[in-house]
Structure 1
């Protein structure tokens, strides 16, 4: 067994600035995500926006879809430099706008800027990885990306809660902005050292990407609203949202993705199924623990924290065995997620053992650590240089679409049937999706079509 060490992959003299800058931007994005989730009740109360509670998330996600598409187009036409010049800057501006918001409208504008900038930035980071790090080192890089979420997952909610309670929720945004600029500066140094970008001789013929991105963003926003309004109007809105979302998805993902076509399309589909299976269940786990078993909010969040540890272990383990194909890790990841979601369903009834939640979610997090990094490696390895931007954007959007659709479905089931009766069939569906991913889709993702 030949082990590619993190030191050789990440900290070679010609890659140190890239590694620090990339990991800073990923870590700060994670802190922002965890912080907003924790402080949202306080900030919407201060801004008198309780009726718009879910919209800071909705605006971010909808704008992120458009940002992903714009970032992909920029990277394929001009390399990662424009995306990584514009994306982090816009993300930082969004932090400042949200941090000084005097009302919900200004906050939502800030969140939209963060989502758009973050979407452009993340695609640029993936393409930069392909240019700076050799193929054999990419598993280590994406493992480091996953690990960069661990500390924010462990301490981010606590730090955000303390800031909101003793200083102000505004510092969750304002405190991160200068650090984002530092990471951005390091990445700009790396970009200046890259060889001049040579546009592809022939550009893949893709039309309607921007219109599809806008349609998908609107569809996601409408689905989010429908999830908050479990009524006849909400059902009608959900159908309209799906009608806008589905055509957009067909344009924004590689051809053959929904049919699990061999090669790249199956790899992109695997990311969406993985995110749907894990996030679709996790979104309702704290609710079940609180409403069914009487847990406090703090204790109900413990399984989510333990999942971050399992995720880190899975991400660390995957690059230790370079002789194994990424598709094999994807398969094992799916099976671990299926087992974790199946086990955690035992918590759903009032007579179920709530202590099962933590070990079950460690197992599911371990599966995500094995699988998500490996899917990222697969997509870059299967992508021609001229299509890295589009395919990296598709990977992010598959993740986003998968979790959004299943969380929306879960919201409808839980609202209509209650936590136990709604979460149980949802988890059964998610286990089936994970098994489909592990037994079928992952096997089709390790070949070039």
Structure 2
């Protein structure tokens, strides 16, 4: 699966770029950043306007399906793009991903019923999942390894501006014009971003094609579909009430693990050093951070009495800190190893999330919660780009797509599973009664964060 062949050195005859904005890759950088930015904007915008959409389309009963269908589709898109990229290179899957994502936006924008809207959301998930994997392989093919921390740091920062402007802008458009135009407007921007990345597509199409080490048979797609269904079932179990909630979630988790096994590098479930552990660590980080993010504004609103807009500001604190950490890790000297950065990131994440647990338990000052989330965001910021860089360093042109897909799948699955079980724990101890639900859910997140430390110590730089 892995190879000693170094990646990051372009195989095309163009000169090797010295920065991510060198003339050879400048428009690739701009286009890739724009595509990730638009994906982030669309995710945050839809979250903001979904109550309006569900009321307008009389689809309140399908509210959660509009989100879970996107997640399920993204897992399938990741696998398909990974296989396709390993077979032919990333150019064709990148074009296809942009096309499917655009069609999904149009279907959702024109939707007159909730069923049609969910189809649009499914296509958006399929396209966005494929898009991120294809872009990872583009980075591997066109950027030298020394620039990988910088370009992945830039990708991480693409989520910050949408977190600041996405929700309010989407809300204004939905109220003053129509929620349909939230989707139509993104279509034009995707076309512009695609035009920016077109020169890279031409270069990639001229590169020699290698046969991927992973088979492109239908079995992987079947496993991806099964994993996606299981992840959605875990989420539904986390949202359901009654005696069957825990059995449903646990059974779905077992199925998900079985289905994910062939989609991840060999040795992932046993934390084999190197690539397998790197992939798993991404999922653990996502699980700890995003399960905390779900309950932190809720805690500040319910227990501290902050209005929703003020409670949500703490997420902005985390987003800005994440972007700052991403930028700083890109400026570290090459003598600082990726594995050392990852360990420091896990320590910061653990301190930051443990602070939220302690804050909820003792009802400490809001400033302590904000400081803790600042630390947690910094941990995510310095670690996520380095994990992406490490995965490419363990990959060859034959398995860049498979490994990039595995990284993204671990990310998505880790977050979804932790959020679902956080919901089960929250409800099991009484929910809002005396704030016990917040303590339990944030305690689970803190355990996951601390668990990332021994996992990070097993990450090995090639």
TM-score relative to the length of structure 1 = 0.94
The alpha-carbon deviation at position 177 of structure 1 amounts to 0.7
* Structure 1 residues 311 and 201, CA gap change in structure 2 (3 angstroms): closer
In the alignment, is residue 324 of structure 1 matched against residue 339 of structure 2? no
In structure 1, how many angstroms separate the alpha carbons of the residues matched to 2:420 and 2:205? 44
* Structure 1 residues 265 and 192, CA gap change in structure 2 (3 angstroms): same
Mapping of residues 49-198 of structure 1, within 5 Å:
49-194=59-204, 196-198=206-208
* Structure 1 residues 65 and 317, CA gap change in structure 2 (3 angstroms): same
In structure 1, how many angstroms separate the alpha carbons of the residues matched to 2:374 and 2:390? 24
The alpha-carbon deviation at position 202 of structure 1 amounts to 6.7
Instruction: Say which is worse superposed, 157-166 or 136-145, in terms of deviation.
Output: 157-166
The structure 1 residue matched to 2:415, chosen from 396, 403, 408, is 403
The structure 2 residue matched to 1:225, chosen from 211, 236, 252, is 236
Contact 1:89–1:184 under 8 Å retained in 2: no
Contact 2:288–2:449 under 8 Å retained in 1: yes
Partner residue in 2 for 1:16: 26
Q: What per-residue deviation string (whole Å, max 9, x for no partner) do you get for residues 3-59 of structure 1?
A: xxxx94221111111011101101100110110111111111111111222111101
The alpha-carbon deviation at position 197 of structure 1 amounts to 4.0
In structure 2, how many angstroms separate the alpha carbons of the residues matched to 1:346 and 1:302? 20
Alignment RMSD:
1.7
Q: What per-residue deviation string (whole Å, max 9, x for no partner) do you get for residues 258-280 of structure 1?
A: 22101100110110111111011
Contact 2:341–2:382 under 8 Å retained in 1: yes
* Structure 1 residues 311 and 260, CA gap change in structure 2 (3 angstroms): same
The structure 2 residue matched to 1:28, chosen from 38, 41, 45, is 38
In structure 2, how many angstroms separate the alpha carbons of the residues matched to 1:205 and 1:139? 29
Partner residue in 2 for 1:4: none
In structure 1, how many angstroms separate the alpha carbons of the residues matched to 2:250 and 2:313? 35
The alpha-carbon deviation at position 144 of structure 1 amounts to 0.5
Contact 1:89–1:181 under 8 Å retained in 2: no
Contact 2:83–2:216 under 8 Å retained in 1: no
Contact 1:222–1:240 under 8 Å retained in 2: no
The structure 1 residue matched to 2:319, chosen from 300, 308, 316, is 308
In the alignment, is residue 213 of structure 1 matched against residue 224 of structure 2? yes
The structure 2 residue matched to 1:266, chosen from 277, 285, 298, is 277
Q: What per-residue deviation string (whole Å, max 9, x for no partner) do you get for residues 242-288 of structure 1?
A: 24312111111111112210110011011011111101111111111
Contact 1:9–1:141 under 8 Å retained in 2: no
SS of the equivalent of 1:383 reads coil
The alpha-carbon deviation at position 223 of structure 1 amounts to 1.5
SS of the equivalent of 2:398 reads helix
Q: What per-residue deviation string (whole Å, max 9, x for no partner) do you get for residues 201-224 of structure 1?
A: 573357621111010111112122
Instruction: Say which is worse superposed, 64-73 or 352-361, in terms of deviation.
Output: 352-361
The alpha-carbon deviation at position 350 of structure 1 amounts to 7.7
The alpha-carbon deviation at position 323 of structure 1 amounts to 1.8
In structure 1, how many angstroms separate the alpha carbons of the residues matched to 2:362 and 2:455? 35
How many residues are aligned here? 441
Partner residue in 2 for 1:251: 262
The alpha-carbon deviation at position 308 of structure 1 amounts to 0.8
In structure 1, how many angstroms separate the alpha carbons of the residues matched to 2:358 and 2:273? 36
In structure 2, how many angstroms separate the alpha carbons of the residues matched to 1:47 and 1:227? 25
In structure 1, how many angstroms separate the alpha carbons of the residues matched to 2:418 and 2:101? 27
Misfit runs of 4+, over 6 Å: none
Contact 1:92–1:114 under 8 Å retained in 2: yes
The alpha-carbon deviation at position 293 of structure 1 amounts to 1.8
* Structure 1 residues 122 and 82, CA gap change in structure 2 (3 angstroms): same
Partner residue in 2 for 1:445: 459
Contact 1:85–1:188 under 8 Å retained in 2: no
In structure 2, how many angstroms separate the alpha carbons of the residues matched to 1:346 and 1:171? 43
Contact 2:88–2:210 under 8 Å retained in 1: no
In structure 2, how many angstroms separate the alpha carbons of the residues matched to 1:280 and 1:222? 17
Partner residue in 1 for 2:308: 297
* Structure 1 residues 93 and 288, CA gap change in structure 2 (3 angstroms): same
Instruction: Say which is worse superposed, 370-379 or 203-212, in terms of deviation.
Output: 203-212
In structure 1, how many angstroms separate the alpha carbons of the residues matched to 2:223 and 2:207? 27
Partner residue in 2 for 1:288: 299
Contact 2:83–2:214 under 8 Å retained in 1: no
